[in-house]
Amino acid sequence: MKIVTWNVNSLKVRLPQVVNWLEANQPDVLCLQETKLQDEFFPVNDIAALGYQSLFIGQKTFNGVALLSKQSGTDAVTAIPNWEDEQKRVLAATYGDVRVICVYVPNGESVESDKYQYKLKWLTALKEWLGKELQQYPRLAVLGDFNIAPEDRDVHDPELWKDQVLCSEPERNAFRELLSLGLADSFRLFEQPEKSYTWWDYRMLAFRRNRGLRIDHILLSNALAGNCKSCVIDKEPRKLERPSDHTPVVAEIA
DNA sequence: ATGGCATGTTACACATGA
């Protein structure tokens, strides 16, 4: 089973790239973040033409997540249960015996911002929910844009980013709390190239200079992590014209 | 040192992202 996460930064703009990527890579489930589409505008037919089904929950202008899959998902959940949130940031569904949860963690803006407090509260709510999901679904994968670089080796310049949003200790603690539920950062199950990142700023030639962060992750429950064969970052789409600022992350599970 | 770039809006600048 091949599962993927990709923050596309507008599915309207990136649809041709997503279509090409799906055709070339044939994942079983592709999790998208920042679709920035209201549900009535979701390109269901373009996706269906490739043999993929769509689940999605979106809103105008911001956020929005989707699951594109070869087989249909069941038991879809479109929000963190019992937690008030205007923003469309999570989508869960079951594919065979694998529970897949797509997340778009709030950015936080800066550690001084109200949005940072919202981010930390959101992560607490996510943890509580994931704990329950793990009990119900031992074969659980949580994929998405976590907007957290877990360790200094996930940051091109740790000194520059020290205590900044995406790298601050409270955020890294929240990430470790998710792992403590019994989830593994699948990327770190394998030997990886140094300076591996999933996001680069559009400005200052950041991609060319590899000034990036690893903030998009695939977390796997123990039952899945033991069968994980690979986890790789696909940098190719970041090289295209009009790329998303994030790259896909791909995990293969036996 | 606070720039720079991309996206969406009902706009002809601003908010948001990371």
* Catalytic machinery residues of A: 104, 145, 246
Nucleotide nearest to A199 (CA to C1'): B18
Segment A86-99 mean pLDDT: 98
Q: Residue A248: its pLDDT value, please?
A: 98
Listed as own residue / partner, the contacts of A69-78 with beta carbons closer than 8 Å and 24 or more positions apart are A69/A28, A69/A29, A69/A30, A69/A93, A69/A95, A70/A28, A70/A29, A71/A28, A71/A95, A71/A96, A73/A100
A97 labeled part of a ligand binding site: no
Q: What is the pLDDT of residues A219-247, one digit of tens each?
A: 999 999 999 999 999 999 999 999 999 99
Q: What is the pLDDT of residues A63-84, one digit of tens each?
A: 999 999 999 999 999 999 999 9
Q: What is the pLDDT of residues A120-140, one digit of tens each?
A: 999 999 999 999 999 999 999
* C1’ B8 / CA A35, Å: 12
Nucleotide nearest to A12 (CA to C1'): B7
Between CA A29 and CA A84 the distance in angstroms is 27
Q: Residue A167: its pLDDT value, please?
A: 97
Chain mean pLDDT for chain A = 97
Q: What is the pLDDT of residues A5-52, one digit of tens each?
A: 999 999 999 999 999 999 999 999 999 999 999 999 999 999 999 999
Instruction: Give strand B nucleotides closer than 7 A to any protein Cβ.
Output: 4-9, 16-18
CATH topology for the A2-253 domain: Deoxyribonuclease I; Chain A (3.60.10)
Q: Residue A30: its pLDDT value, please?
A: 98
Confidence tier at A90 by pLDDT (50, 70, 90):
very high
Q: What is the pTM of this model?
A: 0.97
Which parts of the protein come within 7 Å of strand B, by CB position?
A 7, 9-10, 12-14, 34, 36, 60-62, 106-107, 109-110, 115, 145, 147, 165-166, 199, 201-204, 213, 215, 242, 245-246
Which residue ranges make up each domain of chain A?
2-253
Between CA A214 and CA A194 the distance in angstroms is 11
